[in-house]
Amino acid sequence: MRYLHTMIRAANLEQTLHFFVDQLGLVEAYRYENEAGRFTLVFLSAPADLDNAKTQQAPLVEITYNWDPETYEGGRNFGHLAYQVDDIYHTCQQLLDRGVTLNRPPRDGRMAFIKSPDGISIELLQAGPALAEAEPWSSMANQGSW
């Protein structure tokens, strides 16, 4: 058995792709549109995984957009996605610079949380050991929730 992808539903495909591609930095591996079923599937990959993602040999995020309007509540979308990053502080600063809100800043040098426009939590984890605490992040001890 191997992990293939995580599917989340998007209420607004353009807004969701803007978040995942333009702000978070994922890349589109491939797309599938089904007129009869009235839906679009967009498969996204971390940039380092793109070559393997195109052959479904790397984890993917499947963005499902149903053409007919629908409200997603509770468990209809998903809990969270997790991505490993090389420098949690640098990554979070880039996200802030792009207008993304940090729901849980990386105050411990190890972990942060952000949310997509559809309310999906995304966990960012420092690769390897936690980085040393650094300002202004460490003074954010009581800010945010995930």
pLDDT value at 10 more than 60 = yes
Active-site position among 70, 123, 133, 135: 123
Q: For residue 137, give the nearest of 100, 93, 95 by alpha carbon.
A: 93
Both 10 and 64 in one domain: the answer is yes
Domain-embedded: residue 107: yes
Q: Which helix (H) or strand (E) holds 121?
A: strand 121-126
What per-residue confidence (pLDDT) applies to 93? 94
Residue 93 is classified by DSSP as H
Number of domains in the chain: 2
Give the pLDDT score at 146. 37
The answer on 88 and 57 residing in a single domain is no
In a domain, 124, yes or no: yes
Range of the domain at 85: 77-139
Q: What is the DSSP string of 59-76?
A: -EEEEEEESS-----GGG
Task: Say which range, 53-57, 75-79, 122-126, 142-146, has the weakest mean pLDDT.
Answer: 142-146
Sign of the Cα torsion 44, 48, 49, 50 reads: positive
User: Is residue 145 domain-resident?
Assistant: no
Mean confidence (pLDDT) of the chain: 86
Count CB-CB contacts under 10 A for residue 37.
Answer: 10
Kindly report the CATH number assigned to the domain that includes residue 129: 3.10.180.10
65 plus 101 within the same structural domain? no
> Is 35 a residue of the active site?
no
